Chain A
Amino acid sequence: MTARNGDASSAGDAAAVKVFRDERAAVLATLIRYVGDFQLAEEAVQDAFESALVTWRRDGVPANPGAWITVAARRRAIDRLRRERSVADRAERLAALLRLDQPEHPAADQVDEADEIGDDRLRLIFTCCHPALDMPARVALTLRMLGGLTTGEIARAFLVAEPTMGKRIVRAKRKIADARIPYRVPAGEDLPGRVRGVLRVLYLIFNEGYSAGTGDRLVRGELCDEAIRLGRLLCELMPGEPEAWGLVGLMTLHDARRAARVDGLGGYVALPDQDRSLWDEDRITEGMRALEHAVRFGRPGPYQLQAAIAAAHLQTSGDDPASWARIADLYEALDALTPSPVVRVNHAAAVGFAYGAAAGLERLAPLLGDPALERYQPLHATHAELLRRAGEVTGAVRAYRRAIDLSENAVERAELVRRLESLTTG
């Protein structure tokens, strides 16, 4: 961004960037409701920001930049709607926009906007996460429409060629228009399932950024930030949804440790070995608050339980059996809600650390016989650790070797090798 004309132009640019970040989604969400077409609304908002950059540099920043953008985008939409004949119900939509643009009715306009704006962002979230779109399209569309990421940024984050990502987004918008996916917040019996669907999309975005996979780490950090920001927005718009708070808690508590998870060489660092001074205290505070808020509803759910587990891990240092007993209880509750062998392996480990290795091994036994888990590395690593604690050296050596064979992470493998060697030499 250049500032050729000194302070005025850089102030204009800075204001445009701020409005873009803070208000773009809201302006876009409302405009979509009026024009009924994602593509057209997005182009109109894009135009409005481009003209803001020029106008604000020249004339200074208006008193209410957000309102300026709203009006500019609406006028661009009117122009485009006049030319674009293929939009459904074009005449009615054009008439509604023109009515809104009457200067003699600014008060009526503002009342309408203030009441509807929150709902519009919620409409946008639910439409982007509609189950009639496939999951990659939901993720991309959510990031593009609500997160304000460019197609190029989304493509880089998901290791997809930019034209491929562009096509994916265009296809999703076309399906919304052609199949008439409604622009509304679902009601009644549809709502709980659809809320779960939205939370899943946000958590998927977060995990994509959080997983220590390959790709541009900077962009991946942005995915975590976007997911958290969208989670907070959902909490603001649906404050009575405990799982939304639970998800924000889960994401922020994990994200607090983002910097500590990677060592100087880019390797993965497991929780017990992390440098706690690298943990983000603000994130931890936010996560704990979100979790406490969620728990007050008395309606537990998988995200709240996972957040509670993350919180317990952050608060535990070392081998305190009472903390592990609490973690074991949380895993047991999570397995009851969303049964999975992954959860059961973690449960067995926690039971072992809380009540003694024998109790953990007892829980692990049925999982070891499951052919589907034969190549599940954490199962064998947990098995080895519990056998070591139980003093069964021969079995522990065998389990460590199995876990080392299956490990795909150099740092993790080195740690397993260290433990194996301490067994055979000590």
Chain B
Amino acid sequence: MPDYMVLLYAPHTDDSEQQVDRWAEMPLWLELTENLREAGLLVAHGPLHPVTAATTVRVRGGETELTDGPFATTKEFLAGYYVLRCADLDEALRHAARMPTARHGSVEVRPIMDLSESPAAPGV
């Protein structure tokens, strides 16, 4: 069974009303996570601190350069993730659609490469 990285992108918001709405979603998240755990699909998950806590690392010419902030500043930011072990993409997409973030932000689903299955480098 392949693992899928489910990336939760939420819109930035300063609106306190919307922030209250997000907090109100907490029971949904707990239920969803428990649900995925019971189904044996949950490999890992976690919310992320805001992008203000992010540090981006680049090594250029042997020098480590640090940037305060996320890799890219976008309208939506990476707010959390799940790693789910699903039978196929359809199953992963079904669970992605259950994430509350899907309703106000975006959820990206990416298969995680299984290196044990493909020892050869992927060709073109």
Residue ranges of A at the interface with B (Cβ–Cβ < 8 Å): 85-86, 88-89, 132, 170, 178-182, 186, 190
Cα distance, A88 to B117, chains bound together (Å) = 6
Q: Which of B85-124 contact A (CB under 8 A)?
A: 87-90, 93, 109, 111, 113-114, 117-120, 122-124
| Smallest Cβ-Cβ distance to B114: which chain A residue | A88
Extra A-B contacts (10), CB below 8 Å, given A86-B122, A88-B114, A182-B88: A85-B118, A86-B118, A170-B124, A178-B111, A179-B109, A180-B2, A181-B88, A181-B90, A182-B87, A186-B90
Contact between chains at A85 and B120 (CB < 8 Å): yes
Q: Which residues of A contact B111 (CB under 8 A)?
A: 178-180
The 6 closest A-B pairs by CB, nearest first: A182-B88, A86-B118, A180-B88, A179-B89, A179-B111, A181-B89
Contact between chains at A85 and B88 (CB < 8 Å): no
Number of A-B residue pairs having CB atoms within 8 Å of each other in the complex: 35
Most buried by A among B89, B119, B122, B123: B89
Residue ranges of B at the interface with A (Cβ–Cβ < 8 Å): 2, 87-90, 93, 109, 111, 113-114, 117-120, 122-124
| Smallest Cβ-Cβ distance to B124: which chain A residue | A170
Contact between chains at B119 and A85 (CB < 8 Å): yes
Q: Which of B89, B113, B120 contacts A182 (CB 8 A)?
A: B89
Cα distance, A85 to B119, chains bound together (Å) = 8
Q: Which residues of B contact A86 (CB under 8 A)?
A: 117-120, 122-123
Q: Which residues of A contact B88 (CB under 8 A)?
A: 180-182
Cα distance, A182 to B86, chains bound together (Å) = 11
Contact between chains at B90 and A182 (CB < 8 Å): yes
Could you list 15 A-B pairs, sorted by A, with CB under 8 Å? Answer: A85-B118, A85-B119, A85-B120, A86-B117, A86-B122, A88-B114, A88-B117, A88-B118, A89-B117, A132-B93, A170-B124, A179-B109, A182-B88, A182-B90, A186-B90
Contact between chains at B122 and A180 (CB < 8 Å): no
Q: Which residues of A contact B89 (CB under 8 A)?
A: 132, 179-182
| Smallest Cβ-Cβ distance to A88: which chain B residue | B117
Cα distance, A385 to B41, chains bound together (Å) = 63
CB distance from B71 to the nearest CB of A (A): 23
| Smallest Cβ-Cβ distance to A86: which chain B residue | B118
CB distance from B24 to the nearest CB of A (A): 27
CB distance from B107 to the nearest CB of A (A): 13
Q: Which residues of A contact B113 (CB under 8 A)?
A: 178
Contact between chains at A190 and B118 (CB < 8 Å): no
Q: Which residues of B contact A182 (CB under 8 A)?
A: 87-90
| Smallest Cβ-Cβ distance to B113: which chain A residue | A178
| Smallest Cβ-Cβ distance to A186: which chain B residue | B90
CB distance from A193 to the nearest CB of B (A): 12
CB distance from B110 to the nearest CB of A (A): 8
| Smallest Cβ-Cβ distance to B2: which chain A residue | A180
Cα distance, A89 to B114, chains bound together (Å) = 11
Q: Which residues of B contact A179 (CB under 8 A)?
A: 89, 109, 111
Cα distance, A387 to B8, chains bound together (Å) = 56
Q: Which residues of A contact B114 (CB under 8 A)?
A: 88
Cα distance, A180 to B114, chains bound together (Å) = 12
Q: Which residues of B contact A180 (CB under 8 A)?
A: 2, 87-89, 111
Cα distance, A170 to B124, chains bound together (Å) = 9
Cα distance, A317 to B10, chains bound together (Å) = 58
Most buried by A among B109, B117, B119, B123: B117
Q: Which residues of B contact A132 (CB under 8 A)?
A: 89, 93
| Smallest Cβ-Cβ distance to B88: which chain A residue | A182
Q: Which residues of A contact B118 (CB under 8 A)?
A: 85-86, 88
Q: Which residues of A contact B117 (CB under 8 A)?
A: 86, 88-89
CB distance from A362 to the nearest CB of B (A): 41
CB distance from B75 to the nearest CB of A (A): 21
Cα distance, A89 to B117, chains bound together (Å) = 8
Q: Which residues of A contact B120 (CB under 8 A)?
A: 85-86
Q: Which residues of A contact B93 (CB under 8 A)?
A: 132
Most buried by B among A89, A178, A186, A190: A178
CB distance from A124 to the nearest CB of B (A): 16
CB distance from A9 to the nearest CB of B (A): 37
Cα distance, A178 to B5, chains bound together (Å) = 13
Cα distance, A205 to B28, chains bound together (Å) = 42
Cα distance, A85 to B122, chains bound together (Å) = 11
| Smallest Cβ-Cβ distance to B121: which chain A residue | A86
Q: Which residues of A contact B2 (CB under 8 A)?
A: 180
